[in-house]
Structure 1
Amino acid sequence: MATDILRFATAGSVDDGKSTLIGRLLYDTKSILEDQYEAVKRTSLARGEDQANLALLTDGLRAEREQGITIDVAYRYFATPRRTFIIADTPGHIQYTRNMVTGASTADLAVILVDARKGVQEQSRRHAFLTTLLQVPHLVLAVNKMDLVGYSQERFEEIKAEFTEFAAKLDVRDLAFIPISALHGDNVVERSAAMPWYDGPSLLQHLETVHIASDRNLVDARFPVQYVIRPYRADDPELHDYRGYAGQVTSGVLRPGDEVVHLPSGMATRIQRIVTADGDVAEAFPPMSVTLLLEDDIDISRGDMICRPHNQPTVTQDLDAMVCWMSEGPPLAPRTKLLIKHTTRVAKVMVRDLLYRIDTTTLERDESATSLALNEIGRVKLRVAQPLFVDEYRRNRLTGGFILIDEGTYATVGAGMITQAG
């Protein structure tokens, strides 16, 4: 029985072997059916390849296969006795930065692939920056295609040193290096006999054992209200006064009897019960979806927040944030009017100022920039029409993140990370 879930994203330059790596993980952990493997093998032979191309296990879209590249975020699932895994396979091209941001935004760990022959490329540095910008707690640099450099320890150490020097400029919490060959399976699931000089874990062993429990914020109790439950049945008088507040615990631990405060009113009360689909529970923690019943009758609506009296988020209408612009339409510029979705609250928002655009490869800031085009990232000041209850993104990814929505089409056009509130 898997004990917990690890979400991880894969990234890297084109042809660095992301799809092959994921195919290898799925195949070697026996997470695919035999007929799936046979279908891949037949397709590979028909294309003139001499063995099953495991990349075809992940490139499920016909357009992807025809172009030979992965063009969108593809989510895959597999499990071992120790953990369940959700993989976000993200594309490597710079024009798909928005897809990378989408895939890594909820990840516990990111695997960045580097071709051992080519070393650290622009895309490698860009993806490392994006994963740290998104506060992904754990980063693995998987040096792939080691079979093509004779399983050279010297080449592995060169790439490790180069990437370590670049990573020193970033906010990397946990960094690991693993030499692999996705094609042959070296150090992917099992340790490789071809690299006796490497004494670390295989990639799967690392994924199974990396400690993620402490990454979850269990200090700042945050409960955005998603839905107010007011059931009514004429034949059940107990339901006449039932008022529950449903939502997902984004951080912290909540228990019956705890003193809490409602925002924006500031009124204090206590938790009476915590209800789930399986009945009452003694505590709720991320990412549980629960219904809270409170001791006092307070006017609470969707988008409001329940938190601790002495540990509250910032209540503000002014945000300073890093934004990745995802729209193929007009660029993001000062005076642009949009909708912002933050936790469960949606409000109107206007861009007050663009402070700078950042080069995701060199990390240089362009303070003369006047707009953000598709896939560009910059720091902006926003003014929201009604108060939001926020934390800085580096402290809490869920209450520190938001999306921007086009008012006319309701399409998601941007993703933001709050750097400063108020």
Structure 2
Amino acid sequence: MAWWDWSDPSFTLALLGAMAGVGAAVLAIVVPRQIHNASQQGERIAQDTQRQLIEVQRLQLEAVRRSRWERLLDILPTTGTPAVFYALRNELENYHGEERDLLEGAARANPIQHLPSRVDTLREALDYVKSLPNRVTPANHMFPEHAKRFASGCAESFDTADFERLGLAVALVTCFPPGRTPGVQFYRELVNDVSWRLADDLLYSTRDLEPGGHAANVITGVLLAAKDIHTGRAIDSEEEVEDGIGLFHRGYALRSRSGWPDGSQDQAVFDSNLKAAIASLLSNELSNWGQWPREGLTDSQGAAAAWIIRAAGEVAVGDEHLEMRIIQHLPWMVRSLSGHARAWGSDVDDVRHGLALLRRRCPGLWDEYGTSLVDCTGVSPGAEDGARPLNGGAS
């Protein structure tokens, strides 16, 4: 009988027992591994689910934060209650980078945040410049002083290119609503005490206004500041100044002002820019100066005309194109004045001084147009005109 005799019950039982042992061994190896794998898979699923929940929560928080940021961006410029504004302002600590910068700009647009006397960046200054119209309110009666202080800080902080990029001149002309416009002295002081660099832009900016008192105050203030600068330069250089002109004129004791040109190079740029602006306005807006509405004007049209003539002589350098445009168009402006305004009064010396300088510096143009100027003004330069030489040298 073979050893594997299937008819032998003992063999069969032994074989089954062996097979059971092998099966048990296999199960002992496989089952724990399967259980382990299943456990790891469950953990991975749990971890993935946890990560997904965390991401959902993060997205929800980001959506809430972003919604709050957008809300702050909307309400910071317009809220009118100081306590609310400063509470909202404190929330800016929760934001960084460009988001924070935009919120800072929104806060600067609110007049509750005062105009600073010093600014660090061009972006900050531009935000405040854009906010100027919001700050001209009946309650803010100190706005002109605050605006001048802010403008002075900008003049100190930025070079000429960046200062011009601010558009301060245009902003300080156009930000005022009707009935709340400043007078001549405000614009005079902007040039004298803030910066001579504002002068020509202030003149050009009047083109954004209707002819009337506000535009006239801007023009008159700039021209009066130009007289201050030119007369002050004569005093500083110990040149002769006509009796009664400029030493104490319309509220100013002449002394060096912080906004005046610093040195001959700045002075030359000031004169050149002023000449271009005067030539442009005379050939357009100022040709009917005498017919402008006078409501709101804080000085006389005749005085302003006299200062235009004086400035024309001060900035003239020779028989050149801009000088020709000025001399050609001055009679149109003068003839638009009433007879009373052309009496000149105490401003006749300014007219005489300007004509004397034009005659001396532009002899060719004077030969052609001088008679017309003398006829329309009724003023002759005279034999002893007291006109000082150009740039302190020979005329």
Report the TM-score when normalising by structure 1.
0.22
Structure with the higher fraction of residues in helix conformation: 2
Structure with the higher fraction of residues in strand conformation: 1
